[in-house]
Protein backbone atom coordinates (compact mmCIF):
# COMPACT_ATOMS: atom_id res chain seq x y z
CA UNK A 1 0.00 0.00 0.00
CA UNK A 2 1.27 3.46 -0.90
CA UNK A 3 1.85 6.27 1.58
CA UNK A 4 1.00 9.95 1.00
CA UNK A 5 4.08 12.19 0.68
CA UNK A 6 2.26 15.08 2.40
CA UNK A 7 0.13 13.63 5.21
CA UNK A 8 1.79 10.17 5.46
CA UNK A 9 -1.59 8.40 5.43
CA UNK A 10 -1.90 5.07 3.69
CA UNK A 11 -3.68 5.31 0.33
CA UNK A 12 -5.66 2.47 -1.27
CA UNK A 13 -3.89 1.61 -4.56
CA UNK A 14 -6.94 2.68 -6.61
CA UNK A 15 -6.81 6.22 -5.12
CA UNK A 16 -3.10 6.89 -5.53
CA UNK A 17 -2.39 10.26 -7.20
CA UNK A 18 0.98 11.26 -8.63
CA UNK A 19 1.71 14.95 -8.33
CA UNK A 20 4.60 17.26 -9.07
CA UNK A 21 5.51 18.50 -5.59
CA UNK A 22 7.55 21.69 -5.12
CA UNK A 23 10.78 20.70 -3.33
CA UNK A 24 12.65 24.00 -3.38
CA UNK A 25 14.26 26.71 -5.48
CA UNK A 26 17.74 27.97 -6.23
CA UNK A 27 19.11 31.20 -7.64
CA UNK A 28 21.81 31.61 -10.29
CA UNK A 29 24.98 33.01 -8.69
CA UNK A 30 26.21 32.92 -5.11
CA UNK A 31 24.31 31.16 -2.36
CA UNK A 32 24.30 34.10 0.06
CA UNK A 33 21.08 33.41 1.90
CA UNK A 34 18.83 30.45 2.58
CA UNK A 35 15.92 32.71 1.65
CA UNK A 36 15.47 32.40 -2.12
CA UNK A 37 13.95 35.87 -2.42
CA UNK A 38 16.80 37.57 -0.48
CA UNK A 39 19.36 35.52 -2.41
CA UNK A 40 17.85 36.55 -5.73
CA UNK A 41 17.86 40.20 -4.69
CA UNK A 42 21.53 40.09 -3.54
CA UNK A 43 22.75 38.28 -6.66
CA UNK A 44 20.77 40.62 -8.90
CA UNK A 45 22.32 43.62 -7.11
CA UNK A 46 25.84 42.15 -7.56
CA UNK A 47 25.30 41.46 -11.26
CA UNK A 48 23.22 44.62 -11.71
CA UNK A 49 20.60 42.62 -13.60
CA UNK A 50 17.95 40.08 -12.54
CA UNK A 51 19.44 36.59 -12.27
CA UNK A 52 17.66 33.32 -13.02
CA UNK A 53 15.58 31.44 -10.47
CA UNK A 54 15.16 27.68 -10.83
CA UNK A 55 12.39 25.84 -9.02
CA UNK A 56 12.72 22.16 -8.26
CA UNK A 57 9.84 19.73 -8.47
CA UNK A 58 9.68 16.00 -7.89
CA UNK A 59 6.97 13.47 -8.70
CA UNK A 60 5.56 12.13 -5.41
CA UNK A 61 2.69 9.86 -4.45
CA UNK A 62 -0.10 11.71 -2.63
CA UNK A 63 -3.67 10.97 -1.52
CA UNK A 64 -6.64 12.56 -3.38
CA UNK A 65 -7.35 15.17 -0.65
CA UNK A 66 -3.70 16.31 -0.55
CA UNK A 67 -3.70 16.46 -4.37
CA UNK A 68 -6.61 18.93 -4.22
CA UNK A 69 -4.83 20.98 -1.53
CA UNK A 70 -1.62 20.94 -3.61
CA UNK A 71 -3.44 22.22 -6.69
CA UNK A 72 -4.89 25.10 -4.67
CA UNK A 73 -1.53 25.90 -3.04
CA UNK A 74 0.20 25.77 -6.42
CA UNK A 75 -2.19 28.34 -7.87
CA UNK A 76 -1.69 30.59 -4.81
CA UNK A 77 2.12 30.11 -4.97
CA UNK A 78 2.25 31.14 -8.64
CA UNK A 79 0.41 34.35 -7.74
CA UNK A 80 2.79 34.99 -4.82
CA UNK A 81 5.90 34.43 -6.98
CA UNK A 82 4.63 36.85 -9.63
CA UNK A 83 3.84 39.46 -6.94
CA UNK A 84 7.24 38.82 -5.31
CA UNK A 85 9.21 39.20 -8.55
CA UNK A 86 7.37 42.38 -9.48
CA UNK A 87 8.02 43.97 -6.07
CA UNK A 88 11.64 42.72 -6.13
CA UNK A 89 12.16 44.33 -9.54
CA UNK A 90 10.83 47.62 -8.15
CA UNK A 91 13.11 47.39 -5.07
CA UNK A 92 16.07 46.46 -7.30
CA UNK A 93 15.45 49.43 -9.59
CA UNK A 94 15.36 51.77 -6.57
CA UNK A 95 18.56 50.21 -5.13
CA UNK A 96 20.37 50.57 -8.47
CA UNK A 97 19.19 54.17 -8.85
CA UNK A 98 20.41 55.04 -5.34
CA UNK A 99 23.84 53.43 -5.90
CA UNK A 100 26.54 56.02 -6.59
CA UNK A 101 27.60 56.01 -10.26
CA UNK A 102 31.13 54.80 -10.89
ZN1 LIG B 1 -2.31 13.07 1.91
pLDDT in tens, 9-29: 999 999 999 988 878 888 888
Number of Cβ atoms within 10 Å of the Cβ of 54: 10
Q: Ligand 1 center to residue 35 CA distance, Å? A: 27
Does 15 fall in a domain?
Answer: no
How many whole angstroms separate alpha carbon 100 and alpha carbon 10?
59
Does any domain span residue 48? yes
Please tell me the distance between residue 62's alpha carbon and the centre of ligand 1 in angstroms: 5
Q: Cα–Cα distance between 19 and 79 in angstroms, integer?
A: 19
From the CA of 76, how far away is ligand 1's center (Å)? 19
- The predicted model gives 58-62 an average pLDDT of 92
* 52, pLDDT greater than 70: yes
Residues 6 or more apart whose Cβ sits within 8 Å of residue 50? 40, 44, 89, 92
Are residues 5 and 65 in contact, defined by beta-carbon separation less than 8 angstroms? no
Average pLDDT over residues 57-76: 90
> How many percent of the chain have pLDDT more than 70?
99
Does residue 31 lie within any of the structural domains?
yes
- Residue 1 counted as domain residue: no
Q: What is the mean pLDDT of the chain?
A: 88
Structural domain containing residue 31: 21-58+66-98
State what percent of residues in the chain have pLDDT above 90. Answer: 41
| Domains held by the chain: number | 1
φ, ψ (nearest 5 deg) of residue 23: -115, -5
Cα separation of 32 and 86, whole Å? 21
Q: What is the pLDDT of residue 24?
A: 82
- 9 lies in some domain: no
Q: Is residue 77 part of a domain?
A: yes
Q: Does some domain include residue 11?
A: no
Residues with CB under 5 A from ligand 1 (ion): 4, 6-7, 63, 66
Amino acid sequence: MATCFICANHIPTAQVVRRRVYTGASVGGFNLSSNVFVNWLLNSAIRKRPTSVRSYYAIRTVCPSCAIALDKAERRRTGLIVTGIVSAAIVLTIVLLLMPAR
